Structure 1
Amino acid sequence: MKSNKILYTLISLALVGSSCKKALDLKQQGVYSSSNYFRNEVDAVNAITGIYSILPEEDYIGHAESTFDTPSDDYWRSGDHGEDEGIENLTYDASNAAIRYPWKWRYEEINRATNCIINIPKITAISAAVKNRSMGEAYFLRAFGYWRLMIIHGDVPIITEADYTSLNFNVPKSPIEEVRKQIESDLKQAVNLLPESYGPTDRGRVSKGTALGLLTKLYMYWEKFPEAIATGQQVVSNSHYALAANYQDNFTRANENSTELLFSIQAVQNVVQNDFTVYYIPRPWGGYGFSQPLQGLADEFEAGDPRKQATLLSVGDKVDLGDGKGLTTFTADLSATGYAFKKYAVFNTEADGGGVDHSFAVPLMRSADVYLLVAEALIRTKGAGAGDALINQIRHRASASLKPVTNAGMKELIHERRVELAGEDQRHQDLMRWDKAKIVDIAAIYNLPVSKAPLDKSKTVTFIRPKNYYFPLPQVEIDKSKGVLKQNPNF
């Protein structure tokens, strides 16, 4: 694994001195490192903002991380990335480019966060509120980097503050239990330091609810159900993290102010492009047309559930592309499956110039996810019916006409997570953790041929236990470590 300690600020040279001086004699100005950058409150805030700036990277959250959900029965990968086909069909090996791409960005996020955790406490010209908030953000964002590493690869290297200070980045893998403990420790720190909410000038920063939400997810993957219930209830019971009034409100430009968005990628038109949305939009409409929904996902929605229309574009649906041509029809030639994800097809108005809306805040974690995780934990500890109240809150928010669940068990919970969170990169990981608990048979689900009408192709995925529970470490990182990093079993 390769990293560096150079601070992520622009380096400039001030060309000073007399004309008779040689260029090599000139003294550099404005060159920063970790040792001289952190001077005041502005520096701290800018350093934290620099961690967030990683999220929209195309080879990180911008696209690469969503690739790991394509084996699921919700998607056909589509697109022209050959490496994605290997991920979808679980035929990848450790040299697959899709496995390599996000690795460095996860560790870059961890390294930038660790840099802040080490240096922000040394700043004296900073208010207590901003210092606490900044430290909380750093702890959360470091935890998030390790979270993505853990659920994708399992055992991974932990870079401690001591390693960082000594520039020792070539360290062996830690067992997954230790990685979970690292994430838990960072998230607990974040919960204690972060504010409950922010004003409009700090929109998009992670809050106490964000940290509680990810901690709930960690406990569910860890199968620590009492802890998941206790932690998740702090989100569910807090009005700062209330569900949006309408399901579709989470997928509009106005969602950047939504209380339901615990964590999101914020972007600004013509400044920070959000590739995430582009990948889901059909090519003729300015996107890349990746990750197309399968018929099985469309069939999962109950009759009268408005989440289907809010989630999927079907043949015949009308969309305003903001191009001055009025409503455009979604036609069969725009997708190999007959569907696209409407929740990410957000466009500027004609007055704004039309085209793909890059100001749309892409949800990475919503309160609804936490509601359903708590409901699941209640069902798995107290039995069928224990999660009814929470499941029904989600269903009633979708539509008052949806029949409330009664004595719901895991079958009902699994259905609700699938339709509520469709296209939000939860399905594959959900199925794997349920398979480990012997609640579902993921191999049977994936090994069935799935039709990709209208082109009459099929998708079959052979899931091999335990090999496919985790992806391999990138082979290039194994090679660079000179024997320090060991590959995951079965690869």
Structure 2
Amino acid sequence: MKKLSYSIYLAGLLLLNAGCSKQLDLKPEGTMVEADLLKDRQSAESFLADAYLQTMNACGADAYMLGDITGNIVSSFDQALVKGAIDPRDKNYEPYWQRPYAAINEANVIINNLPTYATFDPAIQKQFIGEAKFIRAYCHLILLQMYGDGALQGQGSNMGIPIMTTAFEGYDGSQNKARNTNAEVYTQILKDLDDAIAALPAVRSASLDQGSRATSGAAAALASRVCLYKQDYQRAATYANMVLNGNQYTLQKTFAAMWPNNGTGTGNYPINAETIFAFPESYNATANYGENNGIYYAYGYYTPLPDFLASYDATDDRFLAIKGGTFVPKYTDMRIRDNVIMIRLAEVMLTAAEAQAQVSGVNQGSVDLLNKIYSRSFSVNAVPKVYTMGDFTSKQQLIDRILLERKRELAFEGFARFDAIRYGKQPNPLMQPANYAMPIPQHEIDITGGLIKQNPGYVK
């Protein structure tokens, strides 16, 4: 029975009790054996809270900005990252690999051991395991989209990442695993998400819980993204429509309603009904230096690129919000404490539109969804065009228009790199196809005695 050192320092990232607005304590709780840690609901839920925190650590900050920094959306001083010319021995990039696995390990502790040690309500246990499977799925996807060789281009038999489904017991070499194929990783992710859909509630009683803890809708929404990346368009449409037909989420009326300016840096920012899953950083009770979301758009370190700005209509709210072509309007709190939006309804609507167009060609449903997202961004000026099926002479023309809207709508949310790669396009003019997958950290190759293989673009 191994010991686990864990800290309950989430404060507002998760609610301690279902339906309660009480924030978690910020005090380290020391070292406990699993039998004690997972026995009662409070300590088990606190450990689950830390798994969410580890997930934010893995998916936020640099990992969140990666898709836009390398996707020709915003500038960056890190030209090695932009070009894909990363040295596998450079330890600065190791957290991209290490942090998701740290979150996966905590999720595995819950999945593997909660049924053995827990003494509280089995129905609550089932929900906790569902949340842990959502976390495990999310982090495996983050890893796969960065490191899977051809994972976004339909290359199912190529090297993906090692699938981890058991908790780490302390390193002795026996835990070393080779990379699973991309197809195997996708299968595991979708299995976890299907399990989560079955185990999780659609609605939570507290609004903060609804947006910051996994629900069946969040699991289905993530599954639609997974299937889109896998190029399984029929299943992508099915999962997306599961979310849309559930009527649990509402598209905000304007861009500003979805993304209010947090420049004043005060208070807790609400999670609105368009948000399906987010990390509520503004609710963190601490104000210590460095304890923030790590997304430094508010400081102007990363500015929108001219090619991207040129993709907008001149009267588009989203374009007008980028003041002077330098302001990123989605993350504006100078304390870097904006809530981090990971999944929202607009993404799912565009996924449904794209997937259905791939399956059925030009169709009214896809056109309607496109119009809803496009027209939402003209709250002051007239919508330049309302599309009809007659505006598209081919399936590809409709898909291209949906992808353009996806680029505009999801800018600064980390999608651009991956959307380009899955259609065989350069994420930016400097990155070559051999470097679309990031290099596996050399440390992982060395410590496994070469069991883990490097991606082809970095083998000398």
Taking structure 1 as the reference length, the TM-score comes to: 0.76
What's the CA shift for 1:161?
2.7
CA distance in 1, matches of 2:221, 2:420: 20
What's the CA shift for 1:56?
4.1
What amino acid maps onto 1:114 in structure 2?
Answer: N
Please name the residue that 1:468 is paired with. Answer: 435
CA distance in 1, matches of 2:285, 2:119: 34
Please name the residue that 1:225 is paired with. Answer: 233
SS at match of 2:192: helix
CA distance in 2, matches of 1:391, 1:429: 20
What amino acid maps onto 1:94 in structure 2?
Answer: P
Picking from 313, 316, 333, the partner of 2:323 is 313
CA distance in 2, matches of 1:71, 1:306: 24
Aligned pair in 2 of structure 1 residues 227, 341: CA closer, same or farther (>3 Å)? same
What amino acid maps onto 2:106 in structure 1?
Answer: R
* Residues 109-133 of structure 1 deviation map (CA, whole Å, 9 limit, x = unaligned): 1000000001222345322442222
Say if 2:83 and 2:432, in contact at 8 Å, map to a contact too. no
Say if 1:478 and 1:487, in contact at 8 Å, map to a contact too. yes
Aligned pair in 2 of structure 1 residues 124, 32: CA closer, same or farther (>3 Å)? closer
Kindly indicate whether residue 49 of structure 2 is the aligned counterpart of residue 49 of structure 1.
yes
**Within 5 Å, which residues of 2 pair with 1:21-170?**
31-57=31-57, 61-78=60-77, 84-154=78-148, 155-161=160-166, 168-170=174-176
What amino acid maps onto 1:464 in structure 2?
Answer: Q
Superposition CA RMSD, Å: 2.6
Say if 1:55 and 1:265, in contact at 8 Å, map to a contact too. no
Please name the residue that 2:278 is paired with. Answer: 264
What's the CA shift for 1:169?
2.8
Identity %: 25
What's the CA shift for 1:468?
2.1
What's the CA shift for 1:255?
5.8
* Residues 327-378 of structure 1 deviation map (CA, whole Å, 9 limit, x = unaligned): xxxxxxxxxxx512021113xxxxxxxx5362x3121111111110110011
Please name the residue that 1:489 is paired with. Answer: 456
CA distance in 2, matches of 1:206, 1:341: 28
SS at match of 2:456: coil
What amino acid maps onto 1:339 in structure 2?
Answer: T
Say if 2:225 and 2:351, in contact at 8 Å, map to a contact too. yes
Say if 1:56 and 1:275, in contact at 8 Å, map to a contact too. no
What amino acid maps onto 1:313 in structure 2?
Answer: K
What amino acid maps onto 2:76 in structure 1?
Answer: R
CA distance in 2, matches of 1:478, 1:61: 25
Picking from 364, 372, 381, the partner of 1:393 is 372
**Within 5 Å, which residues of 2 pair with 1:182-221?**
182-200=188-206, 202-203=209-210, 204-221=212-229
Kindly indicate whether residue 416 of structure 2 is the aligned counterpart of residue 416 of structure 1.
no
CA distance in 2, matches of 1:413, 1:96: 38
Please name the residue that 2:315 is paired with. Answer: 304
Say if 2:112 and 2:167, in contact at 8 Å, map to a contact too. no
CA distance in 1, matches of 2:311, 2:161: 36
Say if 1:277 and 1:345, in contact at 8 Å, map to a contact too. no
Kindly indicate whether residue 350 of structure 2 is the aligned counterpart of residue 383 of structure 1.
no
Please name the residue that 2:332 is paired with. Answer: 345
SS at match of 2:76: strand
SS at match of 1:39: coil
SS at match of 1:302: coil
Please name the residue that 2:11 is paired with. Answer: none
Report the structure number with the largest CA radius of gyration: 1
CA distance in 2, matches of 1:483, 1:115: 27
SS at match of 1:174: coil
Please name the residue that 2:19 is paired with. Answer: none
Larger RCO (alpha carbons 8 Å, 6+ apart): 2
Deviates more, 1:69-78 or 1:470-479: 69-78
Please name the residue that 1:333 is paired with. Answer: none
CA distance in 2, matches of 1:410, 1:132: 39
What amino acid maps onto 2:359 in structure 1?
Answer: T
What's the CA shift for 1:207?
1.2
What's the CA shift for 1:60?
5.1
Say if 2:134 and 2:219, in contact at 8 Å, map to a contact too. yes
Aligned pair in 2 of structure 1 residues 196, 476: CA closer, same or farther (>3 Å)? same
Say if 1:77 and 1:290, in contact at 8 Å, map to a contact too. yes
Say if 2:85 and 2:435, in contact at 8 Å, map to a contact too. no
Say if 1:67 and 1:98, in contact at 8 Å, map to a contact too. no
Say if 1:172 and 1:484, in contact at 8 Å, map to a contact too. yes
Taking structure 2 as the reference length, the TM-score comes to: 0.81
SS at match of 2:70: coil
CA distance in 2, matches of 1:281, 1:486: 39
What amino acid maps onto 1:181 in structure 2?
Answer: T
Please name the residue that 1:451 is paired with. Answer: none
Please name the residue that 1:446 is paired with. Answer: 428
